[in-house]
Structure 1
Amino acid sequence: MTVAGETVLAHGVGGSTDLPLPLEYAMIGAAWALAISFAVLALAWRRPRLDPSTPGIALPLRITLTVDSGPSHALLGVLGVGFTSWVALAAFGGEPGPTNGAPGAFYVLLWVGIVPLSLLCGHVWAYLSPVRALHGAACWALRRDPAAGVWNYPARLGYWPAALGLLAFVWTELASPDPGALATVRVWLIAYLAYGVLGGLAFGRRWFERADPFDVYAAFVAALSPFGRRSPDDRRIVARNPLSNLAGLPVDRGIVAVVAVLLGSTAFDSATGTSWWMTQVQTWYAGSPGLAVAYKTLALLAMVLLVALVFVLAARATGGVTAVQRRAMPGELAHSLVPIVVGYVGAHYLSYLVEKGQRTVIALADPLDRGWDVLGIGGLQTSYWLSEHPHVLAVLKVGLVLTGHVLGVVAAHDRCIRVLPRAHHLTGQLALMLVMVGYTFLGLFLLFAG
């Protein structure tokens, strides 16, 4: 990955020969972990247990009142718009080069940072989002209800606009000619703000819930947060089993496409860091920027389509259901891929977020490269502690991948015994189980080979 003219190793630990944990040991451990998990579930988990309507543990009422208050929403909206404006200052007024923090803010703090933020705080992006804040301000000026639009959002679109928006973003990041160029960041800033505000005015709040790529991305990850609402009618904030919250992820058209883009693009990013890609594939387009974009675009699309196709076929490979139910199975089970996405993204970008994130924040203290130190951190140095401790980093990466896949198996198993006939509770999951094992092995292989 290239950001602001510098090459960034997303894995942060060099090549596979530098990893202190042998790949075959990680593979064996993964196989045992998934096999044991499935066996335990088959024997001990025979009725659905994950329910988003469970009461949970209520947090103090003042927390709910504070989070839902108008001043809190306004403050978070101002913070979101203010930070976006600061990044825009660097993008439009700063000098190109590694000291400009705008590309890092875009590709690191936003794209990667949205995962830990949403896991820890729930769907807080709904209040920090600059497009939601600007849309709310526009509705206030026009004296319109921000929940309503000029038209109703077409139900047939579902999540498809968000999936296409995410695909456009990952293409920009991973396959476009110069993703780290300030011009690229400028175009995305303008396009995203216009897309979000105009779409919100046209279709209301539903636009952000289904069509905004970053909002949908944050909402999917936030579904795995331990914090949720007691019920649609009782908005009290509660602490609940994260997998129960995940079971409540809204199912709609295009949901499989969203998770396929997220998982497939991360796998593609790993693949481009392997020695095979760098020594073999790159020779096919060496010296030709146009061919490089074409090859990367085709490979990215192929990886996303492969993830989606394999999952859809596995989800439909069950008996005892009608044709209509069989077609609905991929959507019903798509939520089980969210922990896998979170685990793989966390493992793939862990050191990238921690180390490049520090450098980005330090660079943003001086957005115009004029010697400013607005935050008082200009003299700080980036800590590379994680990269300097590869044993710790390797264990964290493998742990994140395995945890994500085990949680995915649990979520899929619970949904299967909820929607499948009793006679097919286990047999109906076998194809999906094999696919998840394959995802695990592929993820570990690419993680170690990069």
Structure 2
Amino acid sequence: MTAVLAHGLGGSTDLPIPFTFALIGASWALTVSFVVLAFAWKTPKLDPDRPGRALPDWVTRFADSPITRNVLAGVALVLTAWVALAAFFGPSTSADNALPGVFYVLLWVGLVAASLAFGPIWRVLSPVRTVHRMGCAVLGRSPGERNRRYGDSWGYRPAVVGLFAFVWLELAYSNPGSVTAVRTWCVAYLVTTLAGAVVAGERWCERGDPFEVYSTLASRLSPLSRNRGDGRIALRNPLDHLGSMPVRAGSVALMATLLGSTAFDSFSAFPWWQRTLDAAGGPVAETLARTAGLLVFIGFVGVSFWAATRATGGLRPEQRAALPGLLSHSLIPIIIGYVFAHYLTYLVEKGQATVILLADPLGRGWNLLGLGNAEVAYILSEHPSATASIKVLCVLIGHVLGVVAAHDASVRILPRGHQLTGQLALLLTMVTYTFGGLYLLFGG
């Protein structure tokens, strides 16, 4: 795997917090949180419709201004073209080309951070949306004119396919850092997503674009959101906003793909797994083995969550069948916690290296904004104890928030008499995710 794909800090020898201490802390955090919730949180307290504290009117006017949105969309389109220079005419090696870093660092990980800070920002930045809107303006039609062609039964399934294609390239393909491979993936994404928007309107972007769905999912934990009544931007309890995630076909598969793939990424660094791949007998066999491993991790998350959420009594069959989707939003904090625990060093340090490469996309010695002379500041790698603590806290906070969200939704959904016992299987599953995540994070 190329240098740009060397995620995180590595195995347990790089993380100075003893693994046993991390597990004890995790078990106490989850046990105490559940006991408190069970005895002090007996009625629903989270409300997606609860208005937040509205920010001054000028904030909403500025964010909604056509000038603001057009400028941001234009800048994103120019940056896309700039990265395309590197993709098609830049150096052929991933160490010297900015494309893999933009793809795996700034887009995949940076998008989560930006969406947490500013909301579903990909709706504004998406080059596909921008090109589609420009085409609609030329043809004199509304961007949402063909929304009805996107069937309700599709749900998030096209986005799940796109997200799986991304994680497959990163984690299963034999040469994920290849400029050619990343360029091919990006071209396929742009063509497919733009064709979907042309055929099915902007609803395709909203539900079928993997990056927009990923951005929207992360934004559910942002403190910034819209009040439903007047549309003003407001500060809210992120857990209130979390419950507003629409339940659509593919909701559980979406969460399982994101959580399972991140877990597999950590697992893939285990020495014995690397030895197994080395003995596989060639790139094709290695790719097949990694693909099988990736599917196992995603399948485990999906099946275990599906089974745990349905393990309650007092419900009709149709109500029980709806539970996995209704509770799927509780996995969002866990996913976000894992993303930052696993990719934090990657984002901060590889992100800097990528920006430096972007100053010279063609590899001709350009020095835009003086970035060519910049050096990467290894802020996190030079402070391993603090970094390890941050990573563990990301996992624990994500799981505690997940338990809170699941408990509140269960109290709201489950029938009286089953509101506590009906959560036990889900709690056990989340504890398993926590211990498993820390075990994988520490490299066993």
Normalised TM-score (structure 2) = 0.98
**Equivalent-residue separation in structure 2 for 1:375 and 1:354 (angstroms):** 20
**Equivalent-residue separation in structure 1 for 2:213 and 2:4 (angstroms):** 29
Deviation per residue, 1:161-196 (Å, 9 max, x gap): 101110011001111122211111221221111122
Question: In 2, are the aligned partners of 1:94 and 1:367 still within 8 Å (CA)?
Answer: yes
2:72 maps to 1:67: no
Deviation per residue, 1:2-44 (Å, 9 max, x gap): 3xx43643122x4312321000100000000000000000111
TM-aligned CA distance change 1:327 to 1:441, over 3 Å = same
**Equivalent-residue separation in structure 1 for 2:203 and 2:218 (angstroms):** 18
1:238 paired residue number: 234
Deviation per residue, 1:206-231 (Å, 9 max, x gap): 11111110000000000110111110
2:116 maps to 1:119: yes
1:425 paired residue number: 419
Structure 1 residues 22-421: aligned runs within 5 Å: 22-97=18-93, 98-149=95-146, 151-231=148-228, 233-279=229-275, 281-285=276-280, 287-421=281-415
Letter in 2 for 1:72: T
Normalised TM-score (structure 1) = 0.96
**Equivalent-residue separation in structure 2 for 1:186 and 1:7 (angstroms):** 15
What's the offset of the Cα at 1:378? 1.0
Letter in 1 for 2:22: A
Question: In 2, are the aligned partners of 1:132 and 1:196 still within 8 Å (CA)?
Answer: no
**After the TM superposition, which segments of 4 or more aligned residues of structure 1 sit over 6 Å from their partners?**
none
What's the offset of the Cα at 1:339? 0.3
Deviation per residue, 1:196-250 (Å, 9 max, x gap): 222112111211111110000000000110111110x521111100000001001
**Equivalent-residue separation in structure 2 for 1:428 and 1:375 (angstroms):** 58
Structure 1 stretch displaced more, 172-181 or 406-415 = 172-181
Letter in 2 for 1:223: R
Letter in 2 for 1:352: Y
Q: How many residue pairs get matched? A: 443
**Equivalent-residue separation in structure 2 for 1:6 and 1:59 (angstroms):** 43
Deviation per residue, 1:32-60 (Å, 9 max, x gap): 00000000001111111111111110001
**Equivalent-residue separation in structure 2 for 1:439 and 1:343 (angstroms):** 12
**Equivalent-residue separation in structure 2 for 1:192 and 1:174 (angstroms):** 18
What's the offset of the Cα at 1:124? 1.3
Question: In 1, are the aligned partners of 2:147 and 2:203 still within 8 Å (CA)?
Answer: no
Partner secondary structure for residue 41 of structure 1: helix
What's the offset of the Cα at 1:150? 7.2
Deviation per residue, 1:110-159 (Å, 9 max, x gap): 00111111111111111011111111111111111012227521111111
**Equivalent-residue separation in structure 2 for 1:139 and 1:404 (angstroms):** 41
Partner secondary structure for residue 377 of structure 2: coil
TM-aligned CA distance change 1:99 to 1:7, over 3 Å = closer
Letter in 2 for 1:432: L
Partner secondary structure for residue 377 of structure 1: helix
Partner secondary structure for residue 45 of structure 2: coil
**Equivalent-residue separation in structure 2 for 1:239 and 1:218 (angstroms):** 18
Letter in 2 for 1:19: L
Which sections of structure 2, spanning at least 5 residues, go unmatched? none
Question: In 2, are the aligned partners of 1:362 and 1:380 still within 8 Å (CA)?
Answer: yes
Question: In 1, are the aligned partners of 2:227 and 2:234 still within 8 Å (CA)?
Answer: yes
1:444 paired residue number: 438
Question: In 1, are the aligned partners of 2:38 and 2:420 still within 8 Å (CA)?
Answer: yes
**Equivalent-residue separation in structure 1 for 2:127 and 2:185 (angstroms):** 13
**Percent identity of paired positions between Structure 1 and Structure 2:** 52
Computed over aligned residues only, the root mean square deviation of the Cα atoms, in angstroms, reads 1.2
**Equivalent-residue separation in structure 2 for 1:105 and 1:297 (angstroms):** 24
Which sections of structure 1, spanning at least 5 residues, go unmatched? none
